[in-house]
Amino acid sequence: MRSLCRSFAVITALAVPSIAQAETRWVTDKLEVPIRSGESNEYRILRFLDSGSEIDVRSRNAASGYSLIRDGQGREGYILSRYLESEPTASKRLVEVQTQLTQVLNDAQNGSKRIADLRESLESVTAERNAAQQELASVSAELSELTRVSSNVIAINSANTDLRERVQQLEDESSLLQSENLTLRDDKDKTFMLLGAGLVFAGILLGLLLPSLRRKRQSSNWF
């Protein structure tokens, strides 16, 4: 019993270092598939294709297990059909997913920048709207003042029109008075002319009558 325990202890002591030295590793998914010149392992290898390479399958031979393929450079050869998949490999899909994720992240960053730009544009438009409202209020006040002034101007224009009409009326009356004055002056001149002519005629008549009267008076004195 004692020897059995001793043996177990020795085995345990030997096993512990091995467990302590164990490390985790992963098998690489980077594989190279041989392309042969014929449909068996006896044919020579033309080249190797990396896993995940995209090819065109020209034909399949279920009996030999090989398929005739053409690679991206247009070269043909035979490959074991079991290496062919209908979908891209996990590593290639991972690259595509990483590319899509990068694109999504870029789109998200661009979206954030776009949102920031839109927010800035909104703030700018809001500021412009506030400025426009203030300008509108100022213009409305000026319009009210202009309306008030315009009302005064209309009243002044109306009074000015009345004044012009009154001035025109006075000018017409003045012209009429001047015309009447000229008429009266002409009548006065005519009256003076007639009076002068009458006086001249009376003087002439007296000049003719006085000598006759004197002769008659002298004749009466003789008798």
pLDDT per position as a tens digit, 141-172: 888 888 777 777 777 788 888 888 888 888 88
Looking at the fold, whether 122 and 149 belong to one and the same domain comes out as yes
Q: Which of 178, 198, 218 is the last residue of a domain?
A: 178
Residues 198-214: tens digit of each pLDDT: 788 778 877 777 776 66
pLDDT score for 169:
85
Given a cut of 50, is residue 114 above it in pLDDT?
yes
Q: What is residue 31's three-state secondary structure? A: coil
What CATH number did the domain enclosing 52 receive? 2.30.30.40
Looking at the fold, whether 56 and 81 belong to one and the same domain comes out as yes
DSSP 176: H
pLDDT score for 90:
65
pLDDT score for 60:
94
The pLDDT-based confidence of 18 (bands split at 50, 70, 90) is very low
Backbone angles phi, psi at 48, to 5 degrees: -120, 145
Please compute the mean of the pLDDT values over residues 166-180 and round it to a whole number: 84
pLDDT score for 93:
60
Number of domains in the chain: 2
Q: Is residue 185 part of a domain?
A: no
Residues 25-78: tens digit of each pLDDT: 765 666 788 999 999 999 999 999 888 888 999 999 999 999 999 998 999 999
Q: Which of 148, 163, 178 is the last residue of a domain?
A: 178
Do residues 30 and 51 lie in contact, with contact meaning Cβ atoms separated by under 8 Å?
Answer: yes
Which residue is listed with tokens 């042969």? Answer: 36
Do residues 64 and 40 lie in contact, with contact meaning Cβ atoms separated by under 8 Å?
Answer: yes
Looking at the fold, whether 78 and 107 belong to one and the same domain comes out as no
pLDDT score for 4:
46
CA distance linking residue 222 with residue 180, whole number of Å: 62
Domain that holds residue 125: 88-178
What is the number of H-type helices and E-type strands within the chain?
2, 5
DSSP 71: -
pLDDT score for 48:
93
Q: Which of 145, 162, 178 is the last residue of a domain?
A: 178
